[in-house]
Structure 1
Amino acid sequence: MSRHSVLEVELSVVDPDQARLQQLGYKQELKRGLSVVSNFAFSFSLISVLTGVTTTYNTGLRYGGPASMTLGWLVVAAFNGCVALSMAEICSAYPTSGGLYYWSAKLAGKGRAPFASWITGWFNIVAQWTGTASVNFSLAQLIQVMIVLGTGGANGGYLASKYVVLSIYGAILILLGLINSLPIQRLSWLGKLGVFWNTTGVFVLVVLIPVVAKERASMEFIFTHFNTDNDLGIRHKAYILAMGLLMSQYSLLGYDTSAHMTEETKNADRSGPTGIMTSVALASIFGWIYLVALTSVVTDIPYLLNPNNDAGGYAIAQALYSTFHKRYGSGVGGIICLGVVAVAIFICGAANVTSDSRMGYAFSRDGAMPFSRFWHRLNKHESLGSQVAFQAMVSVATTGLYIAYALPIFFRVTTARKSFVPGPFNLGRYSVLVGWVAVAWVALLTVLFSLPVAYPVTQANFNYTPVAVGGVLLLSVGAWVSNARFWFQGPITNVDS
């Protein structure tokens, strides 16, 4: 045995994380420097309720309004918790950066493993790309709204063209790429900053907004008022409620980040599941409190959604601006509040890029990405411009990523129901029941978020979700049938036998 091989054996003896990773078929290539707190921090920063709630509040306000959001959030949080619990259980058994697509390969059975892995991986990575695009595009939009409000409002201030907004968006992406070239210790610090900023930001805004507001909505309005006046041609309450769930579902998206960071996390089979469950639980609580606080200053829904108001129809920006203006004669305080949200969105965007890079690294390691050898290289230092487009990104990211979440859970409760060997964290006898609830919930969401969002359907309001999600399915299956099935074998072992 060579000296290098002896060293690897010795390391695997003293490092259970490396030993487990080798059992799963991979060498320890990434630096394992994250604690359970750091792992949680990445997921919590990526979920970022300040980001999700603020940027999609218009959607919730149009589709059902206060009741749809405040009560719908609780429904989504409960079912989303089942998805998170099932994912945490599987993560404990298979703590690798590949996450979802690796899990599908292990759970689908030997004959179906390559195809299951291929489909899950492509849904995962395309949805992550779309999610990153939606987060950073929303930041560019928010910056533009802050500039408008700071220069006199939409009826007199500087209203940036869509090309300026896209330029801001491009600059944000470049900056986030540079940040993600930093060593993992620096990125870990950024993740912790995200936890601090989101929790502190929510606390400050939740206290500040109701105190400053001269006019506040009643509790009855916040929890029972159902808005059907959406100018979208939709009046059926059940339909409206279904569309309104998108805000809550998108706001609690992204906790698979904990799984993608497991190869850089100590005690990964425990820390990864803990990161998933803790980030979802805290985001559900903080998000609902923040949502209620925002809704307390919503007293005139048509005005907040009116594109001719000071914020150009950006409901939360207008609500905050008006709240401070009525109290102090100036809306500067509202713009500062939006600045707090903007920082949270930026940190969320950074966490998105971090998660994307780990997923891309793992998928490329197994040869599934075009130019895989290029994308699999490690850093030596370790390390459409419209509201319609944004709405499409949000819907596609939410639907696509939850499909990727559900696929390994589906294989867990069907093919691998008896053969699955759980890790330190497991659901015991409730595992299959929770798994089926999670799968059923995602199946329902996939149908709901593919329905038309307005009637009559036109090119301007067409819901591109079924086209995009169907396109990913069609292209990935087509690539599999025509080419990939001849060479892609799923996760590739890169350790010596």
Structure 2
Amino acid sequence: MRSQRFISRGWSPLTSSRKRGIGNPMWWGPQHGPTSPEREKEGIDSETGMAEEGQRGGYSRLAGDEEVATASGGGGGGGGGDYDERKLRLLGYEPQLKRNLSLLSNFAVSFSIVSVLTGITTLFGTGLQFGGPATMVYGWPIAGAMTLVVGLAMAEICSAYPTSGGLYFWSARLCSHRRWGPFASWLTGWFNIVGQWAVTTSVDFSLAQLIQVIILLSTGGNNGGGYMASKYVVIAFHAAILLSHAAINSLPITWLSFFGQFAAAWNMLGVFVLMIAVPTVATERASAKFVFTHFNTENNAGIHSNFYIFVLGLLMSQYTLTGYDASAHMTEETKNADRNGPIGIISAIGISIIVGWGYILGITFAVKDIPYLLSPDNDAGGYAIAEVFYLAFKSRYGSGIGGIICLGIVAVAIYFCGMSSVTSNSRMAYAFSRDGAMPLSSVWHKVNKHEVPINAVWLSALISLCMALPSLGSLVAFQAMVSIATIGLYVAYALPILFRVTLARKHFVPGPFNLGRCGVAVGWAAVLWVATITVLFSLPVSYPVTKDTLNYTPVAVGGLFLLVLSSWLLSARHWFKGPITNLDG
């Protein structure tokens, strides 16, 4: 019979519960058993249950440090499956998912979700409108460097707590306060999972729209009587894409590992093919001066401040560089999780920065007339990068079929991005429901015979479909909803980092991957960057502001916060005490 005890920092499955005095349910934070001279002698703070500064402690010390060190070959991690499973048990969870992912597979999931082909392609028009080449060429490395800072801070925490819950579990562990720990976990978890659903919605809806453009160009283009699919057809495309993603994610993890690695390779090769082929084929190419210095101020949005324009242009970069928390959510299925999970996060960001910048440079050399590329009267109906591809091949060969094939390469990359997004969503839903935080939790955390959380997979697909339905009534409403994809996720990223550099600054015990003395400084830089982009991306994107031009991001994010807060005050505070163990008692 499985017990449902709340995880305590001081609890270990290797230690008698009667000896530790935790036979009854309790909050798993600071107070977890009687004070004892032995605990004080070991350097354990009787008030927090954590090691004092300079002492080894935290969950490892109190949960059997000697066993962990033995399993990991001296405490360095990398001890294989037995070590991974023991460490997961020390964190309070019985292994239920099949641990079959390598470092490459873990990296591939995050890399294919970041997917520079997806983000840059779908928002290339935004980059052109707000600043143009200069904003994209210089904004990308700026956003990339700060994203890497956020990723480093997350990776350090991931190494200490490699569980599928990821961010919300980290917040609960790091917020060492018996009242606010569960709330921190609740807030982080809901921002994380809703942000992930919004990412999946926006990615798959972007693919549906790209299919619409491909059909339009294949049938003659906007100026040649081409077929423009209606919004109902686009939703049908979106539903079919989600259905296929759910079906693929119902397969055993070995299949997902294969698809993930293939997706990463496709993204990498696709970038190199497009960044070379498109500017090479184009009969007219932009000069290096245009690519590196031209700053477009003709945005038709009533915005004239160069700094303001540059900031809005950063959205393309920051939207693309998100979703890398997937490596953390896949750690319960990853070998040597406390090393490979963090490396998966960092490598996905780092490689994306490099190949993404190359993609931006290559495509921008094929850009000539920015106003025409953004015009809804062009052949692609205003889809800027599709028009770039189409014109490049048409100018040389008299036909844009080559450009359509290039769009097909992008479409495949976006498809795999959505597939990996559902993978990450489902693991988050599995973990969150395992801890009793979701309605019908007992349903969503069940796994099938292949050790796949299949109910969570289909839940993620269904919710992502529902989030796209507002597009039938108003694109403004839809854009407001999916705006949570960037800011909502980054808020979830920042919360555990904030707790790590404040409440847990003295008692945080890093895993094999750690930043040493730089950890706190990196953490603060990450928190400040997230705070900055949260404000900047909430600013109006057009003047005068009307109901159709209003930036609904603060409304959507604020609305989500109010819903999460209300649910906590009215209900969850009475029963949600943070992550709970599923170990046999």
The TM-score with structure 2 as length reference comes to 0.82
The 3-state SS of whatever aligns with 2:483 is: helix
1:180–1:353 CA contact under 8 A, matched in 2: yes
Mapped partners of 1:176, 1:389: distance in 2? 25
2:263–2:416 CA contact under 8 A, matched in 1: yes
Instruction: Report what 1:277 is aligned to.
Output: 346
1:138–1:390 CA contact under 8 A, matched in 2: no
Instruction: Report what 1:331 is aligned to.
Output: 400
1:131–1:393 CA contact under 8 A, matched in 2: no
Mapped partners of 2:445, 2:265: distance in 1? 32
| Deviation of 1:461 (Å) | 1.6
State yes or no: 1:128 paired with 2:216: no
Mapped partners of 1:102, 1:223: distance in 2? 43
| Deviation of 1:391 (Å) | 4.5
The 3-state SS of whatever aligns with 1:207 is: helix
Mapped partners of 1:371, 1:153: distance in 2? 48
Instruction: Report what 2:449 is aligned to.
Output: 380
2:324–2:345 CA contact under 8 A, matched in 1: yes
Instruction: Report what 2:506 is aligned to.
Output: 418
Instruction: Report what 2:92 is aligned to.
Output: 25
2:376–2:382 CA contact under 8 A, matched in 1: yes
| Deviation of 1:393 (Å) | 5.0
Instruction: Report what 1:445 is aligned to.
Output: 533
| Deviation of 1:395 (Å) | 3.1
Mapped partners of 2:476, 2:354: distance in 1? 29
Instruction: Report what 1:409 is aligned to.
Output: 497
Please list, as runs of the form range in 1=range in 2, the aligned pairs for 1:75-474 lying within 5 A after superposition: 75-111=142-178, 112-155=180-223, 156-383=225-452, 384-385=471-472, 388=476, 391-392=479-480, 395-474=483-562
Mapped partners of 1:103, 1:456: distance in 2? 42
2:481–2:556 CA contact under 8 A, matched in 1: no
Letter in 2 for 1:24: L
Mapped partners of 2:502, 2:177: distance in 1? 14
Mapped partners of 1:224, 1:145: distance in 2? 30
More helix by percentage: 1
State yes or no: 1:478 paired with 2:566: yes
Letter in 1 for 2:117: L
Q: 1:303 to 1:143 in 2, by over 3 A?
A: same
Letter in 1 for 2:379: D
Mapped partners of 2:163, 2:329: distance in 1? 7
Instruction: Report what 2:101 is aligned to.
Output: 34
State yes or no: 1:59 paired with 2:126: yes
Letter in 2 for 1:107: L
Task: List alignment gaps of at least 5 residues for structure 1.
Answer: none
1:137–1:390 CA contact under 8 A, matched in 2: no
Mapped partners of 1:379, 1:199: distance in 2? 33
1:46–1:351 CA contact under 8 A, matched in 2: yes
The 3-state SS of whatever aligns with 1:15 is: helix
1:67–1:226 CA contact under 8 A, matched in 2: yes
Greater displacement, 303-312 / 394-403 = 394-403
Deviations 1:329-355 (A, max 9, x none): 000000000000000000000000000
Deviations 1:80-101 (A, max 9, x none): 1100000000000000000000
State yes or no: 1:45 paired with 2:112: yes
Deviations 1:5-47 (A, max 9, x none): 99xx999967000000000010001010111111011111111
The 3-state SS of whatever aligns with 1:229 is: coil
Mapped partners of 1:393, 1:252: distance in 2? 19
Structure with the greater alpha carbon radius of gyration: 2
| Deviation of 1:457 (Å) | 1.2
The 3-state SS of whatever aligns with 1:240 is: helix
Deviations 1:387-415 (A, max 9, x none): 64665455320100011000000000000
Deviations 1:52-79 (A, max 9, x none): 1001111111111111111000110111
Mapped partners of 1:127, 1:196: distance in 2? 26
Give the number of equivalent residue pairs: 491
Greater displacement, 196-205 / 459-468 = 459-468
Identical-residue share of aligned pairs (%): 63
Greater relative contact order: 1 or 2 (C-alpha under 8 angstroms, separation 6 or more)? 1
Mapped partners of 2:553, 2:424: distance in 1? 23
| Deviation of 1:272 (Å) | 0.2
Instruction: Report what 1:489 is aligned to.
Output: 577
Letter in 1 for 2:109: F
Task: List alignment gaps of at least 5 residues for structure 2.
Answer: 1-12, 15-63, 72-80, 453-470
Q: 1:64 to 1:391 in 2, by over 3 A?
A: farther
Q: 1:38 to 1:446 in 2, by over 3 A?
A: same
1:92–1:268 CA contact under 8 A, matched in 2: yes
1:41–1:195 CA contact under 8 A, matched in 2: yes
Letter in 1 for 2:348: S
Mapped partners of 1:331, 1:25: distance in 2? 57
Mapped partners of 2:160, 2:105: distance in 1? 20
2:96–2:451 CA contact under 8 A, matched in 1: no
Query: What is the RMSD computed on CA atoms of the aligned residues?
Result: 1.7
